[in-house]
Structure 1
Amino acid sequence: MTLSFFTQFESPLFLGIPLIALALLLPWTLFPAPSTRWLNNRHIVLQGWFVNRFTQQLLLPLNKGGHKWAAILASLMVFLITLNMLGLLPYTFTPTTQLSLNLGLAVPFWLATVLMGLRNQPTHALGHLLPEGTPTPLIPVLIIIETISLFIRPLALGVRLTANLTAGHLLIQLIATAVFVLGPMMPTVALLTAVVLGLLTLLEVAVAMIQAYVFVLLLSLYLQENV
């Protein structure tokens, strides 16, 4: 019974074909592109306001060199939020619970920031590996530690997003199962558990948005160090 809880994280198949690609394409169909031929509706106005406000907040600590990343970081933010929110619907699949997908997003973006720093300002980029004023005997040790911490960054990005969403989905399913089991035997306890389930669902909605924001925010901080 316990092992069946993890089947929700398996990529669904149709005729032996994984449907994760369809799940990844779905968010782009939910956001209409503004048109110059028609008057904008409330959905498009709200979408534009949200993207503009987020982009402004994201680019505040960055200099002009990092502003070139505004479109791709804003798109990534909207993409992750939509995937996380759609995954909270019943009978849906959440691609961001897959570590392979999250690493596939984290590694290229992290590598692009590192390569940009090495190309534009190699001295400053390599200077992060050795803090100023380090005693001579500690130089080799600190270089090794800083290098390891640099390469751990994309792993931390992917694991953070995967772990938070996976834990939330498992907890929701466990509490929902408890509600169905306790319903015939202890209706009062089942009702209280259902209230807790509702509050937890609201918390997971917040987690779905916050984790997408944290993912993109950390990428912008990595970018800030290299522009």
Structure 2
Amino acid sequence: MTLSLFDQFMSPVYFGVPLIALALTLPWVLYPTPSNRWLNNRLLTLQGWAMNRYTQQLLQPLNLGGHKWAALFTSLMLYLITLNMLGLLPYTFTPTTQLSMNMGLAVPLWLATVIIGMRNQPTHALGHLLPEGTPVPLIPALIIIETISLFIRPLALGVRLTANLTAGHLLIQLISTAAFTLLSLMPTVAALTATLLFLLTLLEVAVAMIQAYVFVLLLSLYLQENV
């Protein structure tokens, strides 16, 4: 049976347990929980400092009403980063390469920001559909375009995360397959290919972190328009 390059994105099942279920629950086990001691260890101190700095930077442009989302945004950021980073390890599965999961995260959160805007400030929320000073003949066309752009936001969130991670994993598999194939034929070229693979892996680590940050940052921007 000929294996496809996209078989790596199928959730394997061992002993009747899908590995995607284990991958989704693993991030919560990896992070240490604060203790009741007066002084925490270095790991907890560094984790708390990083979370505070990130939350401060993310929520600084928001009004006080948007600060209620601090815990949600921070936990979502850590969750996505952990899933993306764990997917780079051998014999693991990356749930964030599944469009269904990313859309399951993007659609409810985007819809919550829209509902908050419609409930708290409906005039301001609906005003985004029609820019000020628009000529009268262009009003129907602009309303349709802005409505489409509003509803395409969750699709862009999910597709961006899925496409970036999928493309990176495919490139890593292609280059690693080429390195193994060239090892016996042209060792020098195989060594150069392995060096390129190492550099690409470092790039994928950066992409895994950046894409998680961009996902949460765009959600905060959507929330900023509605609070």
SS at 2:4 equivalent: helix
Provide the rounded CA distance (Å) in 2 between the counterparts of 1:118 and 1:180.
Answer: 56
SS state of the match for residue 20, structure 1?
helix
Q: Give ranges in structure 1 of 5+ residues lacking alignment.
A: none
- Whether the 8 Å CA contact 2:183–2:190 is kept in 1: the answer is yes
CA distance 1:2–1:192, change in 2 (3 Å)? farther
Report the TM-score when normalising by structure 2.
0.97
**Where do residues 194-205 of structure 1 align in structure 2 (5 Å cutoff)?**
194-205=194-205
State the distance in 1 between where 2:174 and 2:210 align.
23
**1:41 — aligned with what?**
41
| CA-CA distance at 1:12 after TM superposition | 1.5
Equivalent position of 1:126 in the other structure: 126
Contact 2:19–2:93 (Cα < 8 Å) also in 1: no
Q: Measure, in 1, the Cα distance between the counterparts of 2:154 and 2:178.
A: 36
Question: Are 2:87 and 2:94, in contact at CA under 8 Å, matched by a contact in 1?
Answer: yes
Tell me how far apart the structure 1 counterparts of residues 2 and 68 of structure 2 sit (CA, whole Å): 47
- Work out whether 1:219 is the aligned partner of 2:209: no
CA–CA separation in structure 1 for the residues paired with 2:114 and 2:121: 10
- Matched residues, number: 227
Amino acid at match of 2:147: T
Query: Which aligned segments of 4 or more residues in structure 1 are displaced greater than 6 angstroms?
Result: none
Shift of 1:19: 2.6
- Three-state SS of the structure 1 residue aligned to 2:71 is helix
The residue identity in structure 1 corresponding to 2:102 is N
Q: CA deviation at 1:45?
A: 1.2
TM-score scaled by length of structure 1: 0.97
CA distance in 2, matches of 1:37, 1:14: 40
Q: Which residue of 2 aligns with 1:141?
A: 141
Using the alignment, how far apart are the partners of 1:129 and 1:17 within structure 2?
46
For 1:2 and 1:179, the matched residues in 2 are separated by 20
- Asked if 1:60 is matched to 2:60, the reply is yes
Superposition pairs of residues 10-21 of structure 1, within 5 angstroms: 10-21=10-21
In structure 2, the partner of 1:69 is: 69
Identity %: 81
- Runs of 5+ consecutive residues of structure 2 not aligned to the other structure: none
Deviation at 1:17, TM superposition (A): 3.7
Residue of structure 2 in register with 1:172 after alignment: 172
Are residues 5 and 38 of structure 1, via their aligned partners in 2, closer, same or farther at CA, if it must alter by over 3 Å?
Answer: farther
After TM superposition, the structure 1 stretch with the greater mean CA deviation from structure 2, 11-20 or 194-203, is 11-20
